[in-house]
Amino acid sequence: MKYNLINENFTSDYAVNLMRSRGIADLEQYKTPGREFLSSPTNLKNIAAGAAMYLRVVMNDKPPYSKVLIVVDSDNDGYTSAAIIYQYTKRLNCHCQVDYWLHEGKQHGLQDHIDKLVGSDKQYDLIILPDSSSNDAKYHDMLDEINIPCLILDHHLTDEKLSYNAIVVNNQLSPNYENKELTGAGVVYQFCRYVDNIIGQNWADDYLDLAAWGIIGDMGSVLDMENRYIIYEGLSKEHIKNDFLKCLLNKQAYSITGKMGATWDDIIEKTNPISIAFYIVPLVNAMIRVGTMPEKERLFMAFIDGSQMVPCNKRGAKGTMERVDIESTRECVNAKSKQDKTKLEVVERLEAKIFKHDLLENKILFVRLEDTDRFPSELNGLIAMQLAAKYKKPTIVARLNDQGFDRGSARGMNQSELRDFREFLLGSGYFEYAQGHANAFGVSIPDDKLKDFHDFANEALADIDFGENVYDVNFVRRADSKDLSDLVIDLASQNGIWGQNNNEPVVCVEEILCSPRSIRIMGSNQDTLKIEYNGMSYLKFRAKDLIEKINKYSADTQLSVTVVGRCNLNEWGGRKTPQLFIDDCEINSI
């Protein structure tokens, strides 16, 4: 285990100084941001033209009423974006017919829908494309043939020039809009705020919870004060109004709060970017990846009106009706279980391929799928992540297409010396594209370049030991440091402010002195390890490998332990005591 101190090793005002190092000058203001951090919607280029076109269609109050199509993008940001504009549109004019189309897989924009529109009579007066289609120029040129105007409310980078029939409202393409971390749901929220100003209403804020959910789901930075404001307000007790979000939070109450029988106030207190990212976003992602089309239909129905009644598909409840938010929540949980089971089964099958072809001989694990490897392509990223974690190697899972390209998903290792796997692949010169985040992205490489790439990577990465974890830490202390408890208490007290680009602080503690005899093994599965030293507790959950390692020492062997972990306060009987949840540790006998 290695660790790097990535900021000054602050010795006072720990959270305040850490946040200053991350660009936040006023921690208290960050914790309770005001509305002044919202940008004016007028800073979004084309928003006036987009709103005029939208109102011209939607506000038609005489038969035949207008028909609007919303194309729902296939992720949390896409569903929340579409849900905001759907509800806003129906509220604006209940007579307006609003249809929505979902994707069967992980397609985007008009990619799999264009044939239903082109070549037929004009079906819609307006197509709204939230969280997509800034780079769909070829499809919009086709729509020009039937003269369907399109409103794109997006945040993706593009250099394409769209057709004259498409109006694009996109923060990335707006020089006056400073927040480039705003995601699709945030752009749609701002669009609704702009329309509010025109019609004299204040409806947009009723969808702040969906905007917050979308930003978190699409990993928008919480260090941007506009995003921070939307998330802070959107996840407040006042603004969590969406029935489906409430249902999901209640379903995940124990995971979020750690309490049996948690109250709504308990849940709200622990609802933050991390709990949404860990316990809510994956449920929707799983449904989008492995759910059936009827289940996805119910999913979007739950987003837009959770009170609708639908036939219950629960075992033993045939013939009964259920609220769609409750039904979809149950189906999302089942989809997550199905996804995880399928992932483990596929990884097990792929291991035979890995060993048969000696794929671990290369510094980068590249698994090329065959026709017999049948599973949803939407699982490529999850499978790559599972293999990367198991074999301690950056991993690519791809399938050869008819054009001679291996295309799939890549996953790097956050705790390694190779910090940006995507940049490494792009820099190699062998990849057609590598699109996404630093260590989670889609890739394409000509199959005939694969051997050359491996030769390049094996040489370039020869000195990196991917088997040794490398951690970025924010504080380093000896276990007997006088301020260690104060440090842990201060950091653990900062509830709800951590998230994307504002990672929860990692603390390294050196020279924890103990012996196997003094270490407690706890839990129903006897797999939780606890070390107590100098007034601090150090806990490692699911620690069977570590326990086995410690058991190899004799009971009275003196050990020096170095840990990296995250701060927590244990509350018992009205008393709070500091503790560190261990991410990793190194043990040496002395």
Q: What is the 3-state secondary structure (H, E, C) of 514-542?
A: ECHHHCEEECCCCCEEEEEECCEEEEECC
Which of 33, 329, 58 has the alpha carbon at shortest distance from 208?
33
User: Alpha-carbon distance 220 to 90, whole Å?
Assistant: 28
Confidence of residue 571 (pLDDT cuts 50, 70, 90): confident
Instruction: Specify the residue for token string 């969590």.
Output: 240
480-504 pLDDT per residue, tens = 999 999 999 999 999 899 999 999 9
- Please tell me the distance from the alpha carbon of residue 86 to that of residue 240, in angstroms, as a whole number: 18
Q: What CA–CA distance (Å, rounded) separates 576 from 557?
A: 31
Q: Are 581 and 506 in contact (CB under 8 A)?
A: no
Residue type, 430: Y
Beta sheet of 166-170, edge-to-edge order: 97-101, 67-71, 126-130, 150-154, 166-170
pLDDT tens for 261-297 read 999 999 999 999 999 999 999 999 999 999 999 999 9
3-state secondary structure of 70: strand
Instruction: Say how far apart CA 41 and CA 206 lie, in whole Å.
Output: 17
Per the CB < 8 A criterion, the answer to whether 501 and 276 are in contact is: no
Q: Give 109 or 431, the one with higher predicted confidence.
A: 431
**In Å, what is the CA distance from 497 to each residue of 220, 351, 472, 551?**
14, 40, 19, 39
Above 70 in pLDDT, residue 246? yes
Tell me the mean pLDDT in the region 69-95.
97
The confidence score (pLDDT) of residue 443 equals: 97
Residue 393 above 90 pLDDT? Answer: yes
The mean pLDDT value for 303-323 works out to 95
pLDDT per residue over 546-561, tens digit each?
A: 999 999 999 999 999 9
In sequence order, the β-bridge partners of residue 128 are 70, 151
Closest CA to 50 of 214, 192, 212: 192
CB 285 within 8 Å of CB 338: no
Give me the pLDDT at residue 139, please: 73
